[in-house]
Amino acid sequence: MTTPRSPKKTTSMPIIAATTAALPAVMLSSLALAQPATALPAVQSQKIPASLTAAMQAQAAAVSANVIPASAVAASIPTAMQPMAPTAPATYTIVRGDTISGIAARYGLNTNTVLQLNGLSGNTIIYPGQQIKLSGSAAAPSAPAPAPSPAPSPASSSAASYTVVSGDTLSGIAARHGVALSDVFSWNGLNGRSIIYPGQKIKVGPGTNAPAPAAPAPAALAPASAPAAPAAPALANTGSYTIKSGDTLGGIASRLGVSLSSLLSANKLSMSTIIYPGQKLAIPGAPAASAAAPAPVSTPLVPSTFLGYTYPEAVVSSANANKALLNASPVPSTAQMKGIVADTARRMGVDPSLAMAFAYQESGFNQRAVSPANAIGTMQVIPSSGEWASQLVGRKLNILDPYDNVTAGVAIIRALVNTSKDLNTAIAGYYQGQYSVSKHGMYDDTKAYVASILSLKKNFS
């Protein structure tokens, strides 16, 4: 008797095949690519500290093991690896953006040494193209060398004088000649607010005191020298004095034999008043000539009228004082002023061609230009507008300084452009005044000014 087969054995393979067929191909490929599992590395047991103190000690030991000892770290850069400073030239020509401290640092020099070498102070303005000395400091102390000799000292000091050059300061002159600044003030009738000019003669020795001991030696000369003293007041009898380049109020008073206080009082001046060449001073002590003296008036630096309008005497006087000061000061050239105007306009977000059109129209890029209205410099900014521009930029501007003058003008242009209905109105506001334009419209000369600015703007674009 045969045993029948179990039906389960015959159907097991088709079931498996059906099941496999039902699997997605991706799963099959995964099954085919599966690698046999590898044994994981045995986890090493860590020793647990017995106490908190032991744990802290173990952590400190681990940290200290990773710290580089201080003895292994160099305290300074080796000499062979230090960058070498460039050799300082004998002279250096200033370029735009330079400062004395920056120049000194570039060549490994001391800032104070460079200042003293060139007779400058910390607030002296330098300009592109100006030449300064970077070496030769040993030559400065040689000037005071004759001072220690006792005998020739009075004679040499009587004739000791110094001619001011561009960039000089009274403190620098005093230091260069080994004398006290207070003595320089006393010998020249100056003070800390006095303004000096290139070409001015400065006494660097007590010249007026030296001849006094020599007078008693020859007895016969004493009577002759006595009448010579009234000769100075004789000049005072002329009633007036015309200021020349290099003059100071103290020097004029001493030379004419009058007190400085009486000279100031007679001319309604103060110690801080600026005088200029060609100005007439009344000399106290003249009886009637003083009234006639003002009649012959020399040609002023700035006229009192412009386009048929005569400006107040106080405004014209201030304009003449500013003109004299600018004439005696170094200013950038026309080409340098063009660069200053363009750079300032770009920095302040104003079209450079527009700013340059204003600068050319107003002054021809001339920083020494001063109008009868006391409009000053390249951008022809009057003092009240300079105050407004100072508020616009957030700092005090000195419109006699070429950079601040351009900054003031560009700040005003920017404000007018931002607050006017169109460019023509903004341009008119610079010439006629924004309020006047809004109230009266543009005058005929204002329209011509606007047309000129627009034409110049195209040329500078």
Rounded to 5°, angle at Cα 295 from 289 and 296 = 110
Contact 198, 166 (CB under 8 A): yes
Contact 359, 405 (CB under 8 A): no
3-state secondary structure of 200: coil
Q: Which two tokens stand for residue 114?
A: 């460079």
**How many C-beta atoms lie closer than 10 Å to residue 172's C-beta?**
20
Amino acid identity for residue 139 in this structure: A
Instruction: Give me the torsion for CA of 256, 262, 265, 269, rounded to 10°.
Output: 50
Which residues face 18 on adjacent strands? none
**How many C-beta atoms lie closer than 10 Å to residue 404's C-beta?**
22
Strands (E), 108-154: 131-133
Cα distance between residue 165 and residue 294, in whole Å: 32
Cα distance between residue 203 and residue 246, in whole Å: 12
Cα distance between residue 249 and residue 284, in whole Å: 13
Contact 381, 387 (CB under 8 A): no
Query: Which residue in 175, 170, 117, 177 sits closest to 153, CA to CA?
Result: 177
Amino acid identity for residue 28 in this structure: L
Contact 111, 104 (CB under 8 A): yes
Query: Which residue in 87, 83, 114 sits closest to 99, CA to CA?
Result: 114
Cα distance between residue 185 and residue 61, in whole Å: 72
**Residues tagged active-site:** 362
